[in-house]
């Protein structure tokens, strides 16, 4: 590309980052790490943001609370898609930011059913079986969450890849760390191939999570390099409010009563 075209493209990208109303950079990394740790701890009965439920049998989140947390997560995403509609990679990257949300729904149902089966095995000797009131909800969460995770994960990877290719075409220096993001799912797929039969569904869920969500790390890195804003807090008041609502919604996903 010519220098004028390159300058116009980079200016357009910088403007799109300004309108981006979700966490990125360091703020986004913290958000992703909290979601990751919270998802993993469900399998040892430690919902991170519900200490009153620690070490108690896990049950999936109540539907009313899931709806509230989902609204707080999806709302800022819709706002960002509208604000960044002029360049489609930013729109699909914003949609892909919802992949930890959808995976949490899937993971919640899977962990709940897994724990339920373990409890039923404990009472098998007495020829009784517990009626789990959340069983129907768990199955819905698994099916709904799995389908959405595939769609949202693909969206995030497509958007990040398109943005990365666009930057390379204008000779923009992008950190080589971006390749680590692409390699992460491959590494965990190898672990699954070797070890899945030893760890069961829990390990499968961990691998699926990293495969569906690590594109978020790549987009955070690219946005920070484009804007020079490594803190990752949006530069507009509306964007800042949107990002904090998104952050709170993500944390509410891991609150259980």
> How do residues 202-231 score in pLDDT, each as one tens digit?
677 777 888 889 999 999 988 988 888 999
Instruction: Tell me the pLDDT tens digit for each residue of 160-195.
Output: 999 888 887 765 556 666 777 888 777 766 765 665
List the one residue out of 3, 26, 4 whose CA is nearest residue 228: 26
Please tell me the predicted confidence (pLDDT) of residue 5: 57
pTM of this prediction? Answer: 0.85
Class of residue 120 by CB neighbours under 10 A (exposed 0-12, middle 13-18, buried 19+): middle
């Amino acid at each position: 590309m010519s220098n004028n075209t390159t300058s116009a493209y980079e200016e357009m990208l910088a403007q799109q980052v300004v309108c981006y109303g979700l966490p990125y950079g360091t703020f986004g990394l913290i958000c992703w790490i909290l979601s990751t740790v919270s998802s993993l701890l469900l399998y040892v009965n430690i919902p991170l943001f519900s200490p009153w439920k620690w070490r108690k049998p896990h049950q999936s989140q109540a539907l009313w609370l899931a709806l509230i947390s989902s609204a707080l997560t999806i709302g800022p995403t819709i706002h960002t898609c509208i604000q960044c509609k002029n360049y489609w990679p930013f729109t699909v990257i914003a949609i892909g930011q919802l992949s930890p949300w959808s995976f949490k729904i899937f993971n919640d149902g899977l962990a709940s059913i897994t724990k339920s089966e373990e409890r039923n095995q404990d009472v098998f000797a007495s020829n009784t079986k517990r009626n789990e009131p959340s069983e129907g909800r768990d199955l819905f969460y698994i099916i709904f969450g799995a389908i959405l995770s595939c769609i949202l994960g693909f969206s995030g990877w497509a958007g990040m890849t398109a943005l990365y290719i666009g930057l390379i075409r204008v000779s923009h220096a992008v950190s080589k760390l971006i390749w680590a993001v692409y390699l992460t799912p491959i590494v965990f797929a190898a672990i699954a191939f070797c070890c899945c039969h030893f760890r069961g569904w829990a390990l499968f869920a961990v691998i699926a999570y990293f495969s569906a969500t690590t594109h978020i790390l790549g987009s955070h890195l690219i946005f920070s390099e484009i804007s020079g804003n490594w803190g990752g807090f949006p530069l507009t008041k509306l964007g800042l409010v949107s990002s904090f609502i998104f952050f709170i919604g993500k944390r509410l996903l891991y609150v259980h009563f």
